A and B are shown apart, each in its own frame.
Chain A
């Protein structure tokens, strides 16, 4: 009797090698979602705090430059920045945990 050749077996653990394509897609989607969530959180800030946070964190302006641009005292910029970041912590906390 002819013996049937045994098919190669792949364990579930080895399937990880097949995943990168899907993983990268999922990763991209996840990154996009995170980006949107951060954008929303920042845009939900009160305008005065949003301006300072955006200019300092994303625009890389110094507090002094922001103060000059917005025509407010340096101390105001400092306090708005602290308040803005504090306010951002609640909506962004879940993102911290998932990363």
Chain B
């Protein structure tokens, strides 16, 4: 844990953006954030927790953090491409039906009847022996092998990347169609804005693609599933942001 013993004037830069107050008690803001996100070791975490409980200033700061992260949670977007792919690979169990009691009973009865007929078709027969009725089969098949869910492979990853790239191309196309349409109706002074917007979009896409490929590379090396999730999530959110830029145009300046 690092302690900042700098005074408030040295902690803030001239163009200070920070709304989190200077840690006058000596606890670094970074440590407070790391503690809040559960990133400190047990000993450090307990130490910070005890400090926050005793220090009104840090208690206020941790409340501010809680409020901020709660606001961040308000950002909801469409499901990420990864989520879509994973749901196809591992379909969720069917939801419980709201049937009334007699419907399942009826279905059970019908299933039993069909099963009985099927058993008879497969050579099953009832015999009456000393111990009562006994069901016997002609040829008994081997046990059915359980379906094994295959682990995510590099091929799946390739599919994921292709899927994401398809989405990017589609959205690029949408963006440039919008720009093209706007060009036809815009005046000269708007052209510069459009070009600027397109350049920003391209740069953003390039950076996101670089980050994605780096992260996927990391995944392949380490098999870290969560990195894969986050990569797609990040790209998805960046794309959503690009769409917001489109929908904002030609509204007010951001």
Contact = CB atoms under 8 A, between A and B. Distances in A.
Contacts of B233: 54, 58-59
Nearest to A81: B33
A69 B227 contact: yes
Contacts of B75: 35, 38-39, 42, 58
B246 interface: no
A27 interface: no
A87 B71 CA distance: 14
Nearest to B216: A69
Given A35-B75, A39-B75, A39-B77, A85 B240 contact: no
Given A69-B214, A82-B33, A85-B33, A39 B17 contact: no
A47 B207 contact: yes
A85 B68 contact: yes
A57 interface: yes
B133 interface: no
A87 B76 CA distance: 20
B68 A78 contact: no
Contact of A78 (B30, B67, B244): B30
Given A40-B244, A69-B214, A61 B39 contact: no
Given A40-B244, A44-B254, A65 B227 contact: yes
B18 interface: yes
Contacts of B230: 54-55, 58-61, 69
B218 A92 contact: no
A29 interface: no
A33 B229 CA distance: 26
Interface string A42-76: 11100100010111111111110100111100000
Interface residues of A, number: 44
B74 interface: yes
A10 interface: no
B74 A89 contact: no
Contacts of A56: 37
A61 B226 contact: yes
B20 interface: yes
B218 A86 contact: no
Contacts of A58: 72, 75, 230, 233-234, 237
A85 B29 CA distance: 10
Interface of A: 31, 34-36, 38-40, 42-44, 47, 51, 53-63, 65, 68-71, 78-79, 81-83, 85-90, 92-93, 95-96, 99
Interface of B: 17-20, 29-30, 32-34, 37, 39, 64-65, 67-72, 74-77, 207, 211, 214-215, 218, 222, 224, 226-227, 229-230, 233-234, 237-238, 240-241, 244, 254
10 contacts: A31-B74, A31-B76, A34-B71, A36-B244, A39-B75, A42-B241, A57-B69, A59-B229, A59-B230, A92-B72
Top 6 A-B pairs, shortest CB-CB distance: A59-B230, A89-B19, A38-B75, A43-B241, A86-B18, A82-B30
